[in-house]
Amino acid sequence: MDDVLVIGANGKTGRLICKILEQADHYKPYAMLRHESQANYFKNNNIKTVIGDLEEDFSHAFKHTDKVIFAAGSGGNTGDDKTEAVDKNGAIKAIDYAEAAQIDKFVMLSSMGTENPSQMKSLQTYLEAKKAADEHLQSSQLDFSIVRPGSLTDNNASHKIQASERLGKFGEISREDVAFALVYCLNQKHAPKKTFEIIKGNTPIEEAINAF
């Protein structure tokens, strides 16, 4: 049974990740929250929590963890400073802490468009932050998967996606399908040291990712 630290657990996608992990036979979620006031939902679902702030020292969260999913984000209503602090610097710190703790696998929730942030002016600061974090993970000694979804929706999971290192087109995908893809990548045999894009499609998640 692997303990999985979910960073950004209280977000919409983070909660879905924790739910999937809790129902899995071989994973146990460990939800990292910024405030104790966020803990009731997780405690009610028998999910262990740890308090950690991405803008502070949160290295303690890695002490009893085997794998990590980074699903945190500053949100669409924050300024550039918060985006820099959370999506870039917070992620970089998480990667460094994971490397020091010799984590087995680090799965990063990134974003489509990260390769060329200047092409999407309205999201440029966010995508630049994601790009810096992705590159830091790629240059680390960690085993990793970086998943770059298209626009997120709140639709139910279809369990089917399109996946490629470069899809060459934009599209939508449900948060739940993204959560299933992230959890699937926790296995060290699945998409090792791969960076890829996903949107909704017709191929089962496992099959689409295994194509790598």
Q: What is the DSSP letter of 191?
A: S
Rounded Cα–Cα distance for residues 150 and 198 (Å): 6
Rounded Cα–Cα distance for residues 37 and 119 (Å): 39
For residue 66, report the phi and psi dihedrals to the nearest 5 degrees: -95, -40
Beta-carbon count within 10 A of 100 CB = 10
Cα 159 to chain center, whole Å? 18
Residues with active-site annotation: 126
| Contact by Cβ (8 Å): 154, 175 | yes
| Contact by Cβ (8 Å): 33, 49 | yes
Pairing of strands 194-200, 160-164: antiparallel
